[in-house]
């Protein structure tokens, strides 16, 4: 059961964490490579965003989804979480609805910075 990570063995949780995390990295790298194709900006935005979502989802296997959601919306990281999720959505809006390539690239950069800020919120005294 993925909804309750505590029912999975530690080895299984670590294995699925690694699989999701590596898939996230591969998606982000693939998206960056596809950027240079004609009309590759849409693929870039989608794969880069999927990569970040997969990396974020990978920690669900370590913590469990409910515990992670609670941790994401704790007051000390609420702003970082909202900003991160906002840039994930804005990236896709920029490329699919607004058709603004430059804005999509900017939002991907801001996505990276927001993910970094969010990740640092889990390290004591890192922010």
pLDDT digits (tens, 9 = 90+) for 66-99: 888 888 898 888 988 899 999 999 999 999 999 8
Q: Where are the domains of the chain?
A: 8-119
Residues 81 and 62: their CA atoms lie apart, in Å, by: 18
pLDDT digits (tens, 9 = 90+) for 26-63: 998 998 888 888 888 889 999 999 999 998 888 888 88
Q: What is the mean pLDDT of residues 97-109?
A: 89
Residues 63 and 91: their CA atoms lie apart, in Å, by: 27
**pTM attached to this predicted model:** 0.78
Task: Determine the pLDDT at residue 60.
Answer: 84
Instruction: Measure the CA angle with vertex 77, ends 110 and 70; round to 5°.
Output: 120
Task: Determine the pLDDT at residue 125.
Answer: 65
């Amino acid at each position: 059961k993925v909804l309750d990570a505590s029912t999975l063995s530690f080895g299984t949780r670590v294995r699925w964490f690694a699989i999701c995390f590596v898939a996230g990295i591969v998606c982000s790298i693939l998206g960056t490579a596809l950027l240079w194709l004609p009309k590759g900006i849409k693929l870039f935005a989608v794969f880069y965003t999927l990569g970040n979502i997969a990396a974020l989802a990978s920690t669900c296997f370590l913590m469990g989804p409910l515990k992670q959601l609670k941790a994401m919306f704790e007051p000390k990281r609420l702003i970082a979480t909202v900003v991160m999720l906002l840039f994930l959505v804005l990236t896709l809006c920029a490329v699919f609805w607004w058709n603004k390539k430059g804005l999509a690239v900017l939002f991907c950069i801001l996505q990276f910075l927001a993910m970094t800020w969010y990740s640092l919120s889990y390290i004591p005294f890192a922010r």
